[in-house]
A and B are shown apart, each in its own frame.
Chain A
Amino acid sequence: MIRNKSMKRATLASAIVATSAMVLSIVPAQANSTGVTATSIKLGVSTPLTGSAGLVYGKVPGAMRAYFDYINANGGVNGRKISLVIRDDKYLPTLAATQTTNLILKDKVFALVGALGTATHSKAYTAAALAKNNVPDLFINTGFSGFANKTKYPTTFMVLPTYNMEAKVMAKVIKDNFPGQATFMIAQDDEFGADGVAGFTTAGHKFTATPTLYPQGTMTAARAEGALTALGAVPGKPVLVLFGTTDVTATLLKAAEKLELTKKFTFLAGSVGADANTLLALGVKPTTIDGVISASFLPDAKDLTDPYVKQFIDINTRYNQGVTFDNYVLAGMNSAMLTVQALRAAGKNLTRAGLMSAIEAKGSTFASAGLVPLGYSATSRVGYNGYWVSQLNAQGEGKPYGGKLVIYTTDSGAGAVEISTFVRPTMPKNGIPTNS
């Protein structure tokens, strides 16, 4: 009897607590277009701020916010100020799923911008029912080609060139510059790496051995040493393609240092894992980085002759204090600039559908720091569609490989890699877009 009563009491107590907690957090109903008022636009992003990916990408959302603050100080967009809700997903797909759902349900944002990660975002997209809720998913921070699929991701707009494209460009670089050398690839074992492997296959490149795929988090120093020792026995000067995140590239390069194999290979590092400053910060020697070939679509963050870079550095100093300007800050501000132009193009009567059609119609003409063209159209959700090949030096700069800047464009399919004569639009005055 006693047990029954106290159980009843406790269950009831729990029920009351549960009820009150839920009732207390009910929010009043929202206005017409979610996340938009007469004076504000609320955007959201789920991205790693902590954890190993956060170490590399943690600067990006702050950089976006800094640019938005700059625009807000200069009139905003059609009289509205932009605010950015940033949620940390630690690069975990499940956390990204819940955080993105929170952005929609709790923060009630108008649109998402800059979502990061392949596995993370693909899970978040489904879990948060972005398609059903017609939430614009702008300028995602991942190059997995699958995101350009309009049927699967109807509200998504890519910005990064796909990993597939990057691999095809790399294949061309190998073909043009290192014929006859043995070639190997070490890639992350998920869609990011798989996309890269597929690109090489489409480009008709066959590696000397099947690409080594390692699950995320398992490329330890010991494994790296083992892999490189085996490859070190290959005659000549093999080309080694590294398609992983920066910490893994660093581990592999440091293993090469230990085994005195740094000059044995020609390293081709995918853009995801080739940020020179990060590599140096992780303990890789400058002499090792010197000569590593990579690819990019933006100017190098250290190129002070570039007007976009100069402008962004200025914004960074004034609105993002304490943060050193680097390629990640540059990328963040660039995406923010595209976002502002998209919001402007959508007009004063701002709706989610309107925003997406605006990008389809006018996106390819937006001004940005990108040295390659933007591919938005009524049928294409692909952003930048090409790369220029860079070579890192001991100072941590990426300069055009071969001395001259050559822009390659291609697609994520069987299309050839072509040299482009694209000239990017002039930067709007003071970096403040005036488009409509």
Chain B
Amino acid sequence: MKKAGKVHKPTTTRKRLLLFVLFGWLLLILGDRVGELELYQGSFVATYALAITSVVLLTGYSGQLSLGQSALMAVGAYAGALSIFNAGWHPVIGLIMSALIAGVFGLILGLVAARLSGPYLAGTTLALAISLPTLANQFPILGAEEGIAFDVGPAPARFGEDFSQYKWFFWISALASLIMVFFIVNLLSSRYGRTFKAVRDNPVAAQLSGINVEQLKVSAFAISSGVAGLSGGLLVMLISGVSPSAFPLSLSFSLLGAAVVTGLYNLKGVILGGLVLVAIPEIADSLVSRIGGSDNLTTVLPGFLVSALLILAVVFTPNGPGHLLKKHH
């Protein structure tokens, strides 16, 4: 059912570009209509969506279970912070550095990780996730517990007095995420992306047909890390500074969980995933304040709800809700 590949591709890309631009424009208009809080939350949604994209790429597409996305986000965040604060570069350069340096780090990590299977990779990335942030204590330049400031500065003057800092954050995070996700979507629709599917469906046949599986895995690691790094930079932009506690192990778990909930095998659900990560604690909080109850209950209820959602998602839609809607893969 395929038309001649070469003719099809540019049109598809152009259509996709139009879609993304349209979506971006929608967000822009939206940004003008909503309040500070929503812009703040929206920025987190965009950032988490980007982080989940990196998980989908690494775990869903190239089949490598990593529990260390938080560590890669940390690398990106510190790289960005150091670029802006210590080296004095422009914030855009800072964000690019976040992606770049994390990507290089991911490349190196990927070379090691490609040899490891399943639980061994999980264990290594787990160890990375808990130890990397603590390196900030070891090297004074990383600012220890206090961290380093990540300041993108106020919005440009020509946007006017009323252009708040949170709106600026929203613009930056939404734009950066859109650009990166667009890039990744294109990548995955290209021949490169199709090799992932081939390896996933039948690794032996793929290898026999000449696909270098190890190289594929390493490249996936590198790209996914770059994406994660950028999301890390955006995250610490929102809290105005990077510190070790911004990237706890639980963040890796949350991202993995959100990816599973919204579909591990494709990028359709990443925005929903970001929404879930932001909305669920909020819903839990408001539920708790509405119900009241004993002190014990109020402290444990949010965690309980989040965990319950995770379990329900895994039990009922282990392959993501998208699978339920689609008729064929």
Contact = CB atoms under 8 A, between A and B. Distances in A.
A106 interface: yes
Interface in B268-292: 268-269, 271-272, 275, 279
Given A11-B268, A50-B299, A189-B137, A22 B38 contact: yes
A134 B307 CA distance: 38
A216 B275 contact: no
Given A105-B36, A123-B147, A191-B145, A14 B268 contact: yes
B299 A191 contact: no
Interface stretch (B82-90, B91-99, B241-249): B241-249
Contacts, number: 108
A26 B35 contact: yes
A155 B8 CA distance: 61
Contacts of B144: 189-190
Contacts of A50: 299
A149 B325 CA distance: 58
B246 A19 contact: no
Q: Which among A17, A101, A122 has the highest number of chain B CB atoms within 10 Å?
A: A101
Contacts of B299: 49-50, 88
Contact of B245 (A26, A92, A105, A132): A92
Nearest to B251: A94
B127 interface: no
A76 B190 CA distance: 67
Interface in A88-104: 88, 92-95, 97-98, 101-102
A18 interface: yes
Interface string A1-12: 001101110110
Interface residues of B, number: 45
A120 to B, nearest CB: 8
A123 B246 CA distance: 11
Contact of A25 (B12, B37, B166, B243): B37
A22 B15 contact: no
B34 interface: yes
Nearest to A49: B299
A433 B148 CA distance: 43
B40 interface: yes
B134 interface: yes
Contacts of A122: 146
Contacts of B38: 22, 25-26
B272 A93 contact: no
Contact of A215 (B19, B134, B165, B240): B134
A15 interface: yes
Contact of A22 (B34, B238, B246): B34
B326 interface: yes
Contact of A126 (B45, B241, B322): B241
Nearest to A27: B35
Contact of A11 (B19, B149, B165): B19
A15 B30 CA distance: 11
A22 B46 CA distance: 13
Nearest to B136: A215
A97 B240 contact: yes
Contacts of B41: 22
Given A14-B268, A93-B147, A23 B34 contact: yes
Which of A22, A27, A93, A101 counts the most chain B CB atoms within 10 A? A22
A215 B134 CA distance: 9
A261 interface: no
A132 B168 CA distance: 15
Contacts of A7: 16, 268
Contacts of A94: 239, 243, 245-246
B4 interface: no
A192 to B, nearest CB: 9
Given A123-B243, A215-B134, 14 more contacts: A4-B12, A6-B326, A11-B271, A15-B271, A22-B41, A22-B42, A25-B38, A92-B245, A92-B248, A105-B36, A105-B37, A119-B145, A119-B245, A191-B146
Interface of A: 3-4, 6-8, 10-11, 14-15, 17-19, 21-23, 25-27, 49-50, 62, 88, 92-95, 97-98, 101-102, 105-106, 119, 122-123, 126-127, 129, 132, 189-191, 215-216, 322
The 8 A-B residue pairs whose C-beta atoms are closest, nearest first, are A10-B268, A105-B37, A97-B239, A190-B145, A94-B246, A14-B271, A127-B239, A127-B240
24 contacts: A4-B12, A10-B322, A14-B268, A14-B269, A14-B271, A17-B275, A18-B42, A22-B30, A22-B34, A22-B38, A22-B42, A23-B33, A27-B35, A93-B145, A93-B243, A97-B240, A98-B239, A105-B35, A105-B37, A105-B166, A123-B241, A126-B149, A215-B134, A215-B145
